[in-house]
Chains A and B, each alone.
Chain A
Amino acid sequence: MSTALTITGLTKKYSNFTLDNVSFSIPSGSIVGLIGENGAGKSTTVNSILGLIKKDSGSITILGHDTDDFDCAVKEKVGVVFDGSNFSEELTPIKLSKVLRDIYSSWDQSYYNSLLNQLDIPAAKKIKTFSKGMKMKLSIAAAFAHHPHLLILDEATSGLDPVVRDDILDMFLEFVQDEEHSILVSSHITSDLEKVADYIVFIHAGKIIFCSPKDELLEHYGMMKCGAAQFDAVEKNDIVAYRRQDYEWQILVADREKAAKKYPKAMITAVTIDEIMLLYVKGEKE
């Protein structure tokens, strides 16, 4: 299987934070969700991928090219959306297209116009009059309009109302249909990723905790809820993370079927990505 993006041993040290030996890849035709709490290292990872910060060590390959010699031809195939608007507030979407069509040789004006219509973006209004959601939609339209092979989105669905968010997520799913296009989306809205992501990369305190297929995570992970006595009876090896809430113990288990057989009296339920993340971050580990 070919990969759109491969990160190996990415390390970046700051005085108060270290992105530590991060490695993961994005198979072509897939959507990878990068999740983690604020300050976990999502943006540092994305910024390193895009060459906006200089990595201390490790290698990053985009569409078969090492980012150390990232040329314009490769950048042409990468679409980027950051949190918030990326464009001068004085521009209108029409003026923006005049700027970008001189920069991207693959700029598709008619597709851009159709995206503006589809997303209800007023073409002649200044960006400074737009709401945060509208600015985000414009950024996404601009990223799609040059037909990238890889889309990198940093908190791209934040600030959007649920209806628009759903439309955007459908656009993402359509985008990866041909198996040649891929998306890396960093987001703290894990419900969005549950809908569209094929793989989940969970980063915490600068380290990758797991990088797994989403379906596998949702299928296998489980939450065991029990009292203190039952918690003491659970083998420590079976506990991924746990936390106590009043008189209830919540235990994250990596294989809920196995746990259900082993602890038949315990109540074990399926978990959401949000719950997995929460227990990893706020829970304790054995």
Chain B
Amino acid sequence: MTVRTAELLMAIATLALSLGLMFNVYADGLTIGWVEGRGPGAGMWPFWLSAGMALAALATLVRWVQRKTPESRSDAPYIAPETLFLVAVSAVSLLALLVLMTVIGTYLSLMLFMFFYVRVLGKHSWAMTWAFVVGTPIFIYLLFEVALTKYLPKGWPIFEEGFLVIDNLRYEYFY
């Protein structure tokens, strides 16, 4: 995909987004007009600002047709093929991390995530790999659960119960 095509698609997407926002506010029945003696209604701010977004997106679209922006004249690839892999892998690995966090819990998914980057992508030594795979969850546990007293997602009940053993130990011996 060239930058020129991407510019057009993005302009259309932003226009659709703006119109969608306007419709959403309108369909909710919020007052988009002026309330006499009180000024703007609850929906006025989001509705008219979205309208402004739509106009801005439309302007980008018109400038695309006129080939006025540098992007609309560029035939360079939008994401260079040699870096596409890296960007896609990063985005997908994050997506996987978020999905796994809700299924097998934060700590197991962190270990998998680290293993993937350090060993699979980075091809670092096993010593480095283990340091990251084991060190990250421990550091995260100490920082977020102990110091910041947060309860990070533990996944489905079966995984959560397994983890509670560690928490119990902590409360038994340290408090």
A, B from the same assembly: no
Interface residues of A, Cβ cutoff 8 Å to B:
none
